[in-house]
Amino acid sequence: MNRRTVFLMGGTAAMLAACGVGASQPRVGADGKPLPRVYRINEATAEKIPYRVLDSINTLRSAGGSVPLVLNAELTAAALTHSRDMSVQNRPWHFGSDGSSPLLRVQRVGYAGKFLGELISETYETEMETLAAWMAQPDTRDVVLDPAARNLGLSWYQEEGGKIWWTLLTGA
pLDDT digits (tens, 9 = 90+) for 62-71: 999 999 999 9
Under DSSP, is residue 165 helix (H, G, I), strand (E, B) or coil? strand
Query: Is residue 6 a part of any domain in this protein?
Result: no
CB neighbour class for 15 (10 Å; exposed up to 12, middle 13-18, buried from 19): exposed
Query: Is residue 26 a part of any domain in this protein?
Result: no
What confidence tier does 6 reach under pLDDT thresholds 50, 70, 90? very low
Q: Over the stretch 73-132, which tens digit does the pLDDT of each residue have?
A: 999 999 999 999 999 998 788 988 888 999 999 999 999 999 999 999 998 889 999 999
Query: Is residue 28 a part of any domain in this protein?
Result: no
Strand partners, 115: 171
pLDDT of 15 > 50? The answer is: no
Contact 82, 120 (CB under 8 A): yes
Determine the structural domain holding residue 71 and report its residue range. Answer: 47-171
Question: What's the pLDDT score for residue 37?
Answer: 73
pLDDT: is 38 or 110 the higher one? 110
Domain at 111, CATH number? 3.40.33.10
Query: Is residue 96 a part of any domain in this protein?
Result: yes
Q: What is the rounded CA–CA span in Å between residue 77 and residue 63?
A: 28
Query: Is residue 140 a part of any domain in this protein?
Result: yes
How many domains does the chain divide into? Answer: 1
Average pLDDT along the chain: 86
CB neighbour class for 54 (10 Å; exposed up to 12, middle 13-18, buried from 19): middle
Query: Is residue 92 a part of any domain in this protein?
Result: yes
Strands (E), the chain: 70-71, 115-123, 151-158, 164-171
Question: What's the pLDDT score for residue 87?
Answer: 94
Strand partners, 123: 164
Query: Is residue 36 a part of any domain in this protein?
Result: no
What are the backbone angles phi and psi of residue 96, rounded to the nearest 5°? -75, 165
What confidence tier does 36 reach under pLDDT thresholds 50, 70, 90? low
Query: Is residue 9 a part of any domain in this protein?
Result: no
pLDDT of 8 > 80? The answer is: no
Strand partners, 170: 117, 152
Q: Which residues contact 49 (CB under 8 A, 6 or more apart)?
A: 41, 127, 154, 156
